[in-house]
Amino acid sequence: MKRTHLLGGIATAAVLAVGGVGIAAALPNPPAPAVAPAATSSARIGAAALAPGTALVDADGRALYLFEADQGSTSTCNGPCAQIWPPLIDGGAPTVAGDVQASLLGSTARDDGTQQITYNGHPLYYFTGDKKPGETRGQGLDRFGRPWYVLTPAGNKIDPDDPAAAPTAISGGYGY
């Protein structure tokens, strides 16, 4: 009986150890754990022509994502998930540029008490695998149980496998 519990404990520890490595190993060029970008007095959200289509970006041109596992405007990405997909934190009244609609902006309380910016009801996130403005390495990745997508200025996901969500193009730049 004791032998069974010991072997079960060893097997469980091995699965947990491999699972922790598996998250990082599953990502292309796995990023080091990152802290969410610091909240500024107010976030500025614009739109840019990115590889998947015209999508939301921050003031630096970094892509913003939605997570399909989120329940309405409530974020389900916490802990290790939020280390790889840091939330866009609300540090004040966010502003918009270009085709982005101020009426679609909102915020939601996170488990840690911070306020996360939402757009069309979707909590917004960065992807630590995006190393420079305009990159969308997180587009379509299925991590932490569901896929991640960039959003259009209308607030819809850009999914190349969904003909109803066809991306639109605008001229270059970051919508500023």
Residue 73 neighbours by CB distance under 10 Å: 16
Point out which residues pair with 52 in neighbouring strands.
none
pLDDT value of position 165: 53
pLDDT value of position 162: 76
Which of 123, 120, 116 lies closest to 148 in space, CA to CA? 123
Tokens of 49: 């022509």
> Which pLDDT tens digits describe the chain residue by residue (176 residues)?
444 443 344 343 333 333 333 344 344 444 444 444 544 458 999 999 999 999 999 999 999 999 999 999 999 999 999 999 999 999 888 999 999 999 999 999 999 999 999 999 999 999 999 999 999 999 999 999 999 999 999 999 999 887 665 444 444 444 44
d(CA 9, CA 11): 5
- Domain definitions of the chain by residue range: 1-30, 44-165
pLDDT value of position 164: 61
pLDDT value of position 61: 97
d(CA 147, CA 69): 8
